[in-house]
Amino acid sequence: MSNVSSIMNAKSTSEDINTGLDEGFRKDISKTLSEILSESYRLMVKSHIYHWNVVGPLFKPLHELTEEHYKDLFEAIDVIAERVRALGNVAPYNINNASTFAPEGKDVENLTAIDMVQDLIAEHEAIARKMRDAAEKAGDNKDVVTEDLMTARLTFHEKAIWMLRATASE
């Protein structure tokens, strides 16, 4: 999705970090966090676009729910980037592919509220799977801060999935 590999090849901001985490692990988990950040950014943009464009009987609940989601995601993106920095790596800065984050206008015009919900659920589920793997990797390497961060973010995404499903149920 983004040029994460070239970003992660940048020299670490501090190779002398001695917090008990191996430098190779810090670089690897930072790459994973950068991918999660990118996917979170994409979901934030989609949630915002759907917030503006949802119509029909589900307008009010989805309009309000997507607003809650994009605001939460915006804050989370900052926290994830700051974790990458704390691990001694450069936070992602290349958004060349940002134009691919948003669905095409003609696609949005043809989406029903249910289509939007299904798309958002799929995005939340994909990020949740990646976060679960990152949390496990972090835990295996005694990186409790990243593990806790992923746990907190998983809590948000699983609740978002539940609420989206409940909103769109018949």
Residue 67 C-alpha from the chain's centroid: 15
Residue 102 has pLDDT above 70, yes or no: no
Nearest to 106 by CA among 42, 35, 49: 49
Digit-coded pLDDT (tens) for 11-21: 545 567 888 89
Ranges of each domain in the chain? 44-168
- Name which of 3, 115, 97, 106 is nearest 42 in CA terms: 97
| Average pLDDT of span 35-46 | 93
- The residue to which tokens 């835990």 are assigned: 139
Contact 157, 132 (CB under 8 A): no
pTM for the predicted model, two decimal places: 0.85
Q: Which CATH class is domain 44-168?
A: mainly alpha
Question: Which carries the bigger pLDDT value, residue 70 or residue 2?
Answer: 70
The predicted pLDDT at position 157 comes to 98
Give the C-alpha separation, 156 to 73, whole Å.
9
Q: Tokens 């939460």 label which residue?
A: 72
Placement of tokens 């926290």 in the chain: 79
pLDDT confidence of residue 72? 98
pLDDT of residue 1: 47
Mean pLDDT of 151-163: 98
The pLDDT of residue 110 is 81
Q: Residue 123 — pLDDT band, cuts 50, 70, 90? A: very high
The pLDDT score that the predictor gives to residue 52 is 94
pLDDT, one tens digit per residue, over 42-99 is 999 999 999 999 999 999 999 999 999 999 999 999 999 999 999 999 887 665 555 5
